[in-house]
Amino acid sequence: MHTLTFDEVSRLDAVLTDIIQVHGRGNFPTIEVQPKKFIKLLTTKLTESNISIKDYRVNGSAASHVLNEKHEAGNLNSSYNDLDLIFNVSIPSSSDFTLIKECVLNTLMEFLPGEVSKERISSLTMKEAYVKKMVKVVNKNDTWSLISLTNQEGCDIELKFVDTMKRKFQFSVDSFQIILDSLIKFYDVLSDITMSETLFPTVLAESVYGDFNEARYHLSNKLIATVNPEEIRGGGLLKYCLLLCCGFQPASEGITTMEKYMCSRFFIDFKDLYVQQHTLDGYLNSHCSIENRYKYLTILHSVVENSTVCLMGHERRQTLRMIQDMCNQMLHQTNYPQITVYYPVTHSYIPHSSYNSRQHFNMNFARPPHSNEFVVMGHQWKAPTSPRPSTKPVTCC
């Protein structure tokens, strides 16, 4: 645990006071959300719905931004991408997921512009208009859900409601969680008083990596460290390559040897070539600028080529060819010289899989990949049996 200094509390206050836009689809207006007001209103609605809240926290890049000791120009953590909020709650039954979703959507509705008639808008409409994705995870070790609100500039508000979660971090640099309870209460008690070095709330932070000082040293010195990457969904492979792309270096030689575990878990979770491409495309859009995508893809190509031991030869060549196609697609947006790598490809490789971020292609999905319904992972609670997916291809972007 760590007690935040005044400078750190001030950076946290700036994060919670800054306005974040939630963009609507179609003709729905853009909603401007101030995080501290959103958190206060949401916790009130959760309490009124008998959802027990243990505490609420900020984590991810926003927490790293607050705790980073070296705020230099160009530093990865001198700014933040998404605003990741964790609400530690009690979820005794599957119906509580629905209650939580309704509370989030009703809270968001309160921030609609004044000229909008809220009485004519249902929570279902709000979900279709403003929710980017919803995920529900229920298994032996995990009970949690994620609701992500859309921001076209990449600064999404991601709300995670956690009862139990076995794996709470990928790498030490993203393991920080800052407990917000005392700061939100401070806003209520002293709303008309400005914080100063002699008057500011006590705010605690922790690193779920285990050792706070070690994790903070890794963050300040741009070092990569983790444990048991095979426990992470996707193996942490995409985040690992992003850290390398941003100038981070392995904290020890053991991290490099873990690359094969990252690759193995990635290809276990994302077996199909199209799913790999769709996942990678989404990650690039959310985490990587246009200027850095070519560099990122070359690093990913190198790691997959050197550390993949779980795929058959033709599967490995297909994935490498897909990444190389994406590299070449980036060339028209950069000044890098074109590099062509030739691989022998089996008949199972489909020629039209060349990457194009605006290309339409057919995939046999049980549901469209951009659907914002909950994606259910695990089988602790029985859900109604869904009809067998049609074999007719679904056209999606």
Q: How confident is the model at residue 383 (pLDDT cuts 50, 70, 90)?
A: very low
Instruction: In whole angstroms, give the CA distance from residue 227 to residue 270.
Output: 21
Average pLDDT over residues 185-201: 81
Nearest to 320 by CA among 301, 299, 344, 306: 301
Q: What is the pLDDT of residues 16-27, one digit of tens each?
A: 999 999 999 988
Of 94 and 358, the one with more pLDDT: 94
Nearest to 83 by CA among 159, 9, 180, 1: 159
Instruction: In whole angstroms, give the CA distance from residue 120 to residue 102.
Output: 16
Q: What is the pLDDT of residues 281-318, one digit of tens each?
A: 988 887 887 888 899 999 999 999 998 888 888 888 99
Which range of 141-155, 231-245, 353-367 scores highest in mean pLDDT? It is 231-245
Length of the chain equals 397
Q: How confident is the model at residue 360 (pLDDT cuts 50, 70, 90)?
A: very low
DSSP symbols for 329-394: HHGGGS-PPP--------TTS-GGG---TT--EEE--SS-TT--SEEEE--SS--PPPPPPPSSPE
Task: Please tell me the predicted confidence (pLDDT) of residue 379.
Answer: 46
Contact indicator for 2, 215 with CB cutoff of 8 Å: no
For residue 3, pLDDT beyond 70:
yes
Task: Please tell me the predicted confidence (pLDDT) of residue 154.
Answer: 73
Instruction: In whole angstroms, give the CA distance from residue 106 to residue 35.
Output: 15
Q: How confident is the model at residue 334 (pLDDT cuts 50, 70, 90)?
A: low
Dihedrals phi, psi of 95, to nearest 5 degrees: -65, -25
Domain map (residue ranges) of the chain: 1-221, 227-364
Q: What is the pLDDT of residues 58-76, one digit of tens each?
A: 998 899 999 987 754 344 4
- Give the pair of three-digit tokens for residue 233: 């969904």
> Of 179-183, 228-232, 274-278, 344-348, where does mean pLDDT reach its minimum?
344-348
| 0.85 exceeded by pTM | no
For residue 13, pLDDT beyond 90:
yes
Q: What is the pLDDT of residues 239-278, one digit of tens each?
A: 999 999 989 998 888 888 899 999 999 999 998 899 999 9
Token match 């850095």: residue?
292
Instruction: In whole angstroms, give the CA distance from residue 293 to residue 334.
Output: 9
For residue 183, pLDDT beyond 70:
yes
Task: Please tell me the predicted confidence (pLDDT) of residue 217.
Answer: 93
Dihedrals phi, psi of 302, to nearest 5 degrees: -65, -45
Average model confidence (pLDDT) across the chain? 82
Sign of the four-CA dihedral 170, 73, 294, 313: negative
- In Å, how far are 8, 79, 180 from 185, measured between CA atoms? 17, 25, 9
Contact indicator for 206, 2 with CB cutoff of 8 Å: yes
3-class DSSP assignment, residue 55: strand
Q: How confident is the model at residue 345 (pLDDT cuts 50, 70, 90)?
A: low
Q: What is the pLDDT of residues 194-226, one digit of tens each?
A: 788 888 999 999 999 988 999 999 999 999 999
